[in-house]
Amino acid sequence: MDESNNKRPLSREVSSRDRFSRIFSLGDRKNPTSWAPGLVLSEFDPEVPLELAPFMFQRDSRKFPARLLLSTRGELCFPFEGKDQWESSEGLVLPSSLSSSNSGEFGSGEEFLPLSWQSLHHDISLVESDMQPSVIAITDSPQLSNSGGKLAEAIDAVRRRFPSSLIWTPGISGPDNCSLLSWFGVDLFDLSRSRIASANGILLTSDGPRVAEDSLGEDTSMEAQLSHWNNSIAALRSAIRSGTVRELAEKSSLSSPRSVERLRRHDALSCSNSGGSTFTGVDNSGRKMRYNSPISRQDALIHDWKSRVSESHTPPSHQSQVLLLLPCSAKKPYRLSQSHHRFLRNIPSNRIHQVMVTSPLGLVPRELEDLWPAAHYDIPVTGDWDLDELEMITSMISEICNRYDYIEIINHSGMDISVEGIVIHDTRRGTAGSKESLNELKECVLDTIDRLDLIDKSEKQHRMELMRARSRFIHGTDSWLDGSIVSGRLPILSITKEGDQLARWNPRDGRFAFSKKCLPLLFSSKCFPAVSIVEGHDWKGDIFPTNIESSTGEIRVGEEVLVTQGGQLIGSARSVAPGWEWPFGPGRLAKARHRL
């Protein structure tokens, strides 16, 4: 162990992401020897493979404040010539209820940094410094976990402030909550609860603590406890790669009322901090977002969709007078389903704004049905609406009607709708797809456009307005489309201006693929996120923290980021990391696309 290397940082890179949950490869990026999420062992724990447990921890309390030592169990720091040890001071940890008090004795360390509720409130160096420690321990995690929403607040603050650090919450993790803690942003766990369970003859499993089943030869030894840890961390790493950590976290939270409470507080905090924008973006992996329980509706991703549709989205300009409410379908996007094929055949006008009524997203306008997550969610369907769903949908309808200029509403959703000052026509007769219902729908559309003297737009105009509405929703502007035309065969469309292609729309991607010619238009709009490359740096590869000077705007995963240097536009990249990781996140933050 070379203690002279106390300042040598952990070699780490993010190989997979799912919101705050990440898989770090540790050590040589070409041949990593360990990974996180993983375990931190103590001197009381049995031997565990390096692949599962990258660190060893010791606490020396012979003097005050206590001396903390975190050691790598393998060659995890460049140049990979032995193990490393980081020493830190624990500081004076006061109860979280005394957050207004300032002891002045904060935890300190360089690569291993202990933090507490008090230091998060009073240690000015955390704000002023640009340090990114290898590992951060929230030392008063057991106290915070019993203090309302303080645990969620502490993890959220540390995660956003130190995006490249691995976070450890000592003393509170287990196979039953490691996926939930990972969802919050925790990367490292320990065996404290498992040791206590073993001493008390209890088996700590992914479903919570229980008595061992003697008839099947179960025991409560540490070897048995580790078997459940191994299974839980394997499931967690797999879920991060497949983007299903939310499902795993919801499932595991049901093992404890306290875990359900923590998930709810985390969701509320995520919504208030960013409205969900930090987590949304583009996902064309083909995976489904499965919303299988009422708690799924509290997800920040859902909150973001609902608020953007209700509060800021504007429909195509020629569809601002008549709103048509349609039911959703099991198949996504809806237009590919048999039921919506029938609906579309019986809507003989492009002046009608079609909006699908669904849960948990509430409302999905037709022009947005190819976007994430509208095109990629799944939910159990019973045909019945509960009170929360009814309130959410009626509230969203009222909000969009207050913002838009709808004169009439055609309601084919089957839900009772009432909006003050707007005429509503109910066209559903039994099931939405019955012959009687479809005839009623068609006749109502024809009668409405005739009474209101609504003349269809040409197909070119119609497609352009759809593109403008999508651009406003995704990017907050449609100015780059001025003077352009839309062409091509559905569903893939090209956008050109004076013979030059500006972008393509492919519904499978749910985003605009911008050409090099379009970048100056995006830059002049001042609505697209941008990153500034360090002066003098010869930008050839992707975007990494080491070549970034600053970043601006709301960066979403999978979307275009303009690249500048010295105030001049030099290209674009596609973000692979969410905005909270910029500009200090570990590894590649964006993949280069165009260079001017």
Concatenated DSSP letters of 282-327:
---S---EE--SGGGGG-HHHHHHHHHHHHT----GGGSSEEEEEE
Asked if residue 500 has pLDDT above 50, the reply is: yes
Mean pLDDT of the chain: 91
pLDDT at 453: 96
Rounded to an integer, what distance in angstroms lies between the CA atom of residue 123 and that of residue 102?
A: 9
Per-residue pLDDT of 255-275, as tens digits, reads 888 999 999 999 989 888 765
Asked if residue 98 has pLDDT above 80, the reply is: no
pLDDT at 383: 67
> How do the residues of the chain divide into helix, strand and coil, expressed in percent and rounded to 5?
35, 25, 45
pLDDT at 133: 94
For the segment 408-420, the average pLDDT, to the nearest whole number, is 92
Asked if residue 7 has pLDDT above 90, the reply is: no
Radius of gyration for the chain, computed over Cα atoms and rounded to the nearest angstrom: 27
Q: Are 228 and 205 in contact (CB under 8 A)?
A: yes
Q: Diameter of the chain by CA atoms?
A: 87
Per-residue pLDDT of 136-152, as tens digits, reads 999 999 999 988 789 99
pLDDT at 103: 62
pLDDT at 220: 95
For the segment 153-172, the average pLDDT, to the nearest whole number, is 95
Asked if residue 4 has pLDDT above 80, the reply is: no
Rounded to an integer, what distance in angstroms lies between the CA atom of residue 450 and that of residue 408?
A: 13
For the chain, give the percent of residues with pLDDT over 90.
71
Q: Which pair of tokens denotes residue 171?
A: 């003393």
Prior bond of 37 cis (ω within 30°): yes
What pTM does this model have? 0.91
Asked if residue 472 has pLDDT above 90, the reply is: yes
Q: Are strands 568-575 and 560-565 parallel, antiparallel or unpaired?
A: antiparallel
pLDDT at 104: 61
CA neighbor of 164 nearest in space, from 587, 451, 535: 587
Q: Are 556 and 282 in contact (CB under 8 A)?
A: yes
Domain ranges within the chain, ordered by starting residue: 3-93+104-274, 313-451, 485-595
For the segment 354-360, the average pLDDT, to the nearest whole number, is 94
CATH tag, 485-595: 3.10.400.20
Per-residue pLDDT of 545-576, as tens digits, reads 989 998 998 898 888 999 999 999 999 999 99
Q: Which CATH number fits domain 313-451: 1.10.3330.10, 3.40.50.10630, 3.40.50.1820, 3.30.360.10?
A: 3.40.50.10630
Q: Which amino acid is at 239?
A: A
Per-residue pLDDT of 419-453, as tens digits, reads 988 999 999 998 999 999 999 999 999 999 999 99
Per-residue pLDDT of 178-228, as tens digits, reads 999 999 999 999 999 999 999 999 999 999 999 999 999 999 999 999 999
